[in-house]
Amino acid sequence: MKILVTGGAGFIGSEFVRQGVRKGYAITVLDKLSYAGDKERLREVDRDIMFSEADIGDRRSVEEIFRQTRPDAVVHWAAESHVDRSIQDASPFIEANVRGTQVLLDVCRISQVEKFINVSTDEVYGDLGEEGQFLESTPLNPSSPYSVSKASADMLGRAYHRTYGIPVITVRPSNNYGPWQYPEKLIPVVVMKAVNNERVPVYARGENVREWLHVSDCASAVFGVLEKGQAGEVYNIGSGQEKKNIEVVKTILRILGKQEGLIEFVEDRPGHDFRYSLNSNRIRTELGWATRVPFEQGIEHTVGWYLENMEWTRSKLKSR
Ligand SMILES: NC(=O)c1ccc[n+]([C@@H]2O[C@H](COP(=O)([O-])OP(=O)(O)OC[C@H]3O[C@@H](n4cnc5c(N)ncnc54)[C@H](O)[C@@H]3O)[C@@H](O)[C@H]2O)c1
């Protein structure tokens, strides 16, 4: 099967590409190499894939890539992905996440793909209190400019399935962590600050809860959906491993042998969602997917990876 992977030079997309090469898929990556994209993440599979540097919003380029590669399936990861940046300026998020998704879907109307995996997020549901879970049927109620742009892309994909019969499948993963994450997100930020004995900023009191999913489990779930998922369906992808941010931060400090005194509580993110929690029974029972990486093992390995790859992480911080 030939797959076009958008955003394949990003954090999760590159893990998906590495797994896809091992599984024998013929992969073309379409990525504009934004500040968050880096071909270095694809170093180990460089010779096994095709790479097209292009913007998903540029219809001409996208059509040309489809004409040249004739993909059987599209797996659409490309997005502006950082909530804090969307609060500073929503425009790039609407442009990439909404209009970019529309362009890809429009090109699929004339290109006959067998599957289009539209990667959404658990953030499209809005937030929860201490109790409860989101089902795939829960109405979307996004809070941030980022999650609104993702909810729009999510709904566009489902509308194109219903209206034009494009075989779109929507996936909504929870919070990913693992190697190669751009160092503006919580885990690499904490590692880098703590290693340098700098203050580790934590929003409010760190009580917000996220469901932590190892990036390799997220990618394997999306392969399950690609291989066995039903067109028009939505699949939540959650690990069931809920942690407060403060617990995650303290775990990292413990692994690094650093004092909790480094923690500095800072003013909360405006509109900060309190808790996300997915009911992922559908993907588990219908597609037989299961997580492989327990959080305690995954976080230990992830912290070790950042320690071994300080140079890459520092170079990203410098170029911000
Ligand atoms: N990271 C998470 O915890 C998480 C959780 C749920 C869903 N998601 C979704 O998964 C996807 C991947 O997330 P990530 O954390 O790997 O993001 P990332 O920011 O690390 O990577 C995004 C990639 O998309 C590329 N890109 C951005 N705009 C583009 C455009 N206009 N044209 C072509 N390429 C473009 C970037 O260059 C980069 O390589 C996103 O759709 C995100 O919304 C992420």
| Domain residue extents for the chain | 2-178+213-240+274-293
What CA–CA distance (Å, rounded) separates 233 from 167? Answer: 9
- Provide CB contacts within 8 A for 272, sequence distance 6+: 203, 204, 208
pLDDT value for 319? 75
Q: Counting atoms of ligand 1 from 1, which one is nearest the CA of 185?
A: 1
pLDDT value for 43? 97
Distances (CA, A) of 9 to 90, 145, 181, 192: 22, 23, 11, 22
Task: Give the distance (Å) from ligand 1 centre to CA of residue 7.
Answer: 6
pLDDT value for 217? 98
Q: Is the CB of 8 under 6 A from ligand 1?
A: no
Q: Cα-flanking dihedrals φ and ψ of residue 297, to 5°?
A: -75, -45
- Residue 146 a catalytic site member: yes
Q: Is the CB of 87 under 6 A from ligand 1?
A: no
Distances (CA, A) of 257 to 195, 249, 254, 284: 10, 12, 5, 37
What CA–CA distance (Å, rounded) separates 214 from 178? Answer: 6
What CA–CA distance (Å, rounded) separates 88 from 79? Answer: 16
- Residue 123 a catalytic site member: yes
pLDDT value for 318? 79
User: 126 and 75 in contact (C-beta within 8 Å)?
Assistant: no
pLDDT value for 306? 97
What CA–CA distance (Å, rounded) separates 27 from 4? Answer: 6
pLDDT value for 303? 98
Q: Cα-flanking dihedrals φ and ψ of residue 285, to 5°?
A: -85, -40
Residue 297 Ramachandran class (φ > 0 left, ψ -120 to 50 alpha, else beta):
alpha
- Provide CB contacts within 8 A for 152, sequence distance 6+: 94, 97, 98, 101
Residues of the chain with pLDDT under 50: none
User: 5 and 17 in contact (C-beta within 8 Å)?
Assistant: yes
pLDDT value for 317? 83
Task: Give the distance (Å) from ligand 1 centre to CA of residue 204.
Answer: 26
What CA–CA distance (Å, rounded) separates 93 from 81? Answer: 8
Name the catalytic one among 55, 123, 217, 242. 123
CATH class of segment(s) 2-178+213-240+274-293: alpha beta
